Amino acid sequence: MKIAILGAGLAGSELALQCASKGCSVVLFEAKPDKKDSSVYATPLPGELVCSNSLKSENEGTPAFLLKEEMQMMHSFLLDIAHDTAVPAGRSLAVNRTHFSENILKMIRESSEIEYRENSLFTTLEEFKKSVDADYYVIATGPLTTETMANSIDEKHGYFYDAIAPQILDESIDYSKVFMASRYDTGDPDFLNIPLSKEEYDIFLQALLASEKLPYNENEKPQFFAQCMPIEELARRGERTLSFGPFRPVGFSVDGRRPYAVIQLRTENKEKTAWNLVGCQTRMRQAAQKEVFSMLPGLQHASFSRYGSVHRNSYFNATEVLDPWFVLKKDSQVRVIGQLSGVEGYSESIWSAVMLAQALTSEAELVAPPLQSMSGGMFRALFHRYDRFDPVHANYALISNPNKLKKKVRKLFYFESGKEHFKKWWLSL
Ligand SMILES: Cc1cc2nc3c(=O)[nH]c(=O)nc-3n(C[C@H](O)[C@H](O)[C@H](O)COP(=O)(O)OP(=O)(O)OC[C@H]3O[C@@H](n4cnc5c(N)ncnc54)[C@H](O)[C@@H]3O)c2cc1C
């Protein structure tokens, strides 16, 4: 079987490795390094993590970890690479993004089944299909897919805005004003933390609200995904939205007292040469970012290795545009995976590829994963939704479970039962 994949991002790279490992012949097309058509991509490498370097929680009982546990059972290559290139981040799976992508490239290049064609930028689905003979064509061009490409697949697509958080160089941080710790002192003290008094918080908030932001294009409505809201949008919602949200101080103590707010920085690499300002994604102009973030204790002389920014994310309403297992309704030879297919997040994008690989290489028609598992919940939300469609990310509202349990035990129950049901499904294949 020959599979042509467009886009060597998270989903495209995982799919290529999966299909190659099952003996398929794969041609993987990628616009990088020279023909990338979005300024968001900062490296020439495949599988680039464009914003945070975290693949979220590895805490027992969390939906993000349940999804990863299920992907692990299905032998996700990128998840293995993430563990190999992990950097300290408390109970989250964060990676050195350069090592992560370099390892993906190495695996792609070492596979005798994968032909990696870089500098291949296609503008429409038709152009892509004409370029090579294959049994299946897979679109994995991600959330930054151009309007022309998205329209050529199906005109019914939506969008929302996603934002990137700034990064600060370690050498520019004043360590006398910050402290290393993990929330509730669990695990290693992997985060740098900036404690704020009420007065410092108020000054920062006012400066943030007054700062100059980049305008939106004409006719565009600024709709954001709840998980990745710019801080200025959160700040606009109320004086304490930040201190109850990304800057919440619970689990921290300075001189025996809980600060009014705490801003966390997560390391970008094991050497800790750069730090990501967690939750500080923003569309402030660069000069304003420098001014506003430099007001924070410890960041008076901050040097930015990357500024924050906001980008438009395109996605399909999967229920309308796709059939189960990511099949394009308009053309059954075509599959759409990754963020463009209606999932949201790094792990979720990789997940879509693991699932599709299974469907493509299975001899019999696949039964959907059980509804008690995260994969089953996401599968239903993508392909069988009856009401409004929103991009799908791992969360327990997707899971079907009849048990009415107390909140405290419910999460752990969902987690254990999800794993168990998924394992049975996986072993039955
Ligand atoms: C600004 C921004 C910030 C985000 N931050 C986070 C975050 O912090 N955490 C999180 O979990 N998720 C985040 N996401 C969401 C999402 O999980 C990632 O974008 C993820 O990388 C999507 O994976 P993908 O494989 O679908 O696409 P991508 O990883 O973006 O890969 C698409 C690939 O296709 C290539 N390509 C695109 N068009 C063409 C073409 N026409 N021809 C040839 N090649 C092409 C690109 O060069 C790229 O390599 C963010 C998204 C955006 C846009």
pLDDT in tens, 335-365: 999 999 999 999 999 999 999 999 999 988 8
Rounded Cα–Cα distance for residues 291 and 41 (Å):
25
Which residue has a Cα nearest atom 38 of ligand 1?
141
pLDDT band at 214; cut points 50, 70, 90: confident
* Closest approach atom of ligand 1 to CA 338: 26
What's the whole-number mean pLDDT along residues 251-257?
A: 94
Position 352 scores a pLDDT of 98
* First-residue to last-residue Cα distance in the chain: 20
pTM of the model: 0.85
Give the strand order in the sheet containing 136-139: 114-117, 25-29, 2-6, 136-139, 334-336, 327-328, 322-323
CATH 3.50.50.60 boundaries in the chain: 2-161+313-428
**In angstroms, what is the C-alpha Rg of the chain?**
22
Query: Helix 286-293 vs helix 198-210: angle between axes, to the nearest 10 degrees?
Result: 170
Q: What is the mean pLDDT of the chain?
A: 93
Superfamily of domain 2-161+313-428: FAD/NAD(P)-binding domain (3.50.50.60)
Q: For ligand 1, say whether the CB of 313 is within 6 Å of any of its atoms.
A: yes
What's the whole-number mean pLDDT along residues 60-65?
A: 94
Residue with the larger pLDDT of the pair 271 and 234? 234
Q: For ligand 1, say whether the CB of 94 is within 6 Å of any of its atoms.
A: no
Residue 121: CB partners within 8 Å, gap ≥ 6? Answer: 31, 35, 37
Position 310 scores a pLDDT of 84
Q: Would you report the helix, strand and coil content of the chain in percent, each value rounded to 5?
A: 35, 20, 45
Q: For ligand 1, say whether the CB of 283 is within 6 Å of any of its atoms.
A: no
Position 118 scores a pLDDT of 96
Greatest mean pLDDT among 67-71, 382-386, 410-414 lies in 67-71
Judge contact between 222 and 273, C-beta under 8 A. Answer: no
Which residue has a Cα nearest atom 4 of ligand 1?
51
Q: For ligand 1, say whether the CB of 280 is within 6 Å of any of its atoms.
A: no
Q: For ligand 1, say whether the CB of 14 is within 6 Å of any of its atoms.
A: no
Q: Is the pLDDT of residue 402 over 80?
A: no
Which residue has a Cα nearest atom 31 of ligand 1?
9
Q: For ligand 1, say whether the CB of 322 is within 6 Å of any of its atoms.
A: no
User: Ligand 1 centroid to 389 CA: how many Å?
Assistant: 20
Q: Among 29, 43, 45, 51, which is best to mutate for testing ligand 1, by the most ligand atoms less than 8 A from CB? A: 51
Position 344 scores a pLDDT of 93
Q: Among 65, 117, 224, 349, which is best to mutate for testing ligand 1, by the most ligand atoms less than 8 A from CB? A: 349
CATH 2.40.30 boundaries in the chain: 166-307
Q: Is the pLDDT of residue 408 over 80?
A: no
Which residue has a Cα nearest atom 49 of ligand 1?
9
What's the whole-number mean pLDDT along residues 256-285?
A: 93
Question: Tokens 């079907």 correspond to what residue?
Answer: 400
Rounded Cα–Cα distance for residues 227 and 163 (Å):
10
User: Ligand 1 centroid to 384 CA: how many Å?
Assistant: 25
pLDDT band at 122; cut points 50, 70, 90: very high
Position 39 scores a pLDDT of 73
- Angle subtended at Cα 137 by Cα 136 and Cα 140, rounded to the nearest 5 degrees: 135
User: Ligand 1 centroid to 339 CA: how many Å?
Assistant: 7
Task: Specify the CATH number of the domain 166-307.
Answer: 2.40.30
